[in-house]
Structure 1
């Protein structure tokens, strides 16, 4: 990918609404994508019709550009829109390419990916490390090939499934306070623990969503679980009111329990050696 000035790419050149409408047009109901962006800043959108997506291991991207610092990665990437999934720090980059791309890193057609709102260029969560400047702001395939060549084709370690029993037990315990009077330290610890569990679950849940066909019975529930998780992770948890702090910790924990439930259902229904 040809190097350009990253600072100049930090905002779309054209009207943001035009870019948003283009991204949303890939959704079966575009207004649904706009609604998800309004709620959480992330919309689950299927790939393969309006755009294809190459999922690039962070190790390759970071070796190619010589840095893992987001600002330097942004400045050293070339043309085209690229998403960074920051819920699992540094693991994946998603490059938008023209539909019909043939590449080993291409997501299967119809997989659902968390697409940030067009102006979302910072963490937390998935964000545009290079936002789309206009509709069809695709990464050139020859540029992606060059980036992969420079970064090397090192093996990507398999994703480990979090300890679902441990997460479920810890989250359920949060709802059993045994009549204890809350204190600020307990509230902060509960929020941190629930947030850590949720950030461990999200990459696995997101990957599960990309593996399901559009009409799979669990797809809608998985989408709702992801959207709510994104929303709660971005909610302000700095309230000095202990009751509100605990309420937020419990909402985070409930998000964890929802995702554990869906992952277990998918695991039980999985056939063959590739289990979630």
Structure 2
């Protein structure tokens, strides 16, 4: 007579593996999850008062770049329009970065005083508590999920005409014409 067979329960790793196989493609991580995780880490870095580089586009925001000279009037107009302008970063080298809704880049026609950038470009966000130089700082800090509305901004920039126009410098920096 032979010895009775001993049943061995599967390990937790084997159970998980069997479940993964049974789940099929639904178990595979979504293609954009790595991107979402990177964006979340970047936003947490900003919240932790650290400077961070973030890819534009996707579901967060895009950026309109203008010269800082004479932009104060456009900023005032946007303050009135929004009851306090959405987020704007000032770079002491003479540029303003207006954070606008995702998808603005596709609708933004050529503008003599501004350029709109989205994917695949990046923007370095200053820490949330930086409101003065050195380095880029929040001229208007982010508040909730408010961004600068593109159409009123476009109109304000057309009226005010901030200088210098960013086209030539951006083209040199990015290596292509805009």
TM norm. shorter chain > 0.5? yes
The structure richer in strand per residue is 2
CA RMSD of aligned residues (A): 3.5
1:110 match: 120
Taking a change above 3 Å as real, the CA distance of residues 150 and 43 of structure 1, as seen in their structure-2 partners, is same
Which of the residues 99, 104, 107 maps onto 2:102? 99
Gaps of 5+ in 1: 1-24, 66-72, 160-202, 212-269
2:153 match: 144
Contact preservation (8 Å) 1:48, 1:109: yes
Moved over 6 A (4+): none
Pairs within 5 Å for 1:1-276: 28-32=38-42, 34-35=44-45, 41-49=50-58, 50-59=60-69, 61-62=71-72, 64-65=73-74, 77-78=78-79, 79-86=85-92, 88=93, 91-101=94-104, 102-103=107-108, 104=110, 105-134=115-144, 136-152=145-161, 156=165, 158-159=168-169, 208=173, 211=174, 274=176
1:83 deviates by 0.8
1:96 deviates by 1.1
Instruction: For residue 71 of structure 2, give the secondary structure of its aligned residue in structure 1.
Output: helix
Structure of greater Rg: 2
Gaps of 5+ in 2: 1-34, 80-84
Contact preservation (8 Å) 2:47, 2:128: no
1:97 deviates by 1.1
1:48 deviates by 0.5
Contact preservation (8 Å) 2:64, 2:116: yes
How far apart in 1 are the matches of 2:130 and 2:36? 18
Contact preservation (8 Å) 1:45, 1:115: yes
How far apart in 1 are the matches of 2:51 and 2:37? 13
2:26 match: none
Taking a change above 3 Å as real, the CA distance of residues 32 and 51 of structure 1, as seen in their structure-2 partners, is closer
Instruction: For residue 147 of structure 1, give the secondary structure of its aligned residue in structure 2.
Output: helix
Q: Deviations over 1:166-196 (max 9, x none)?
A: xxxxxxxxxxxxxxxxxxxxxxxxxxxxxxx
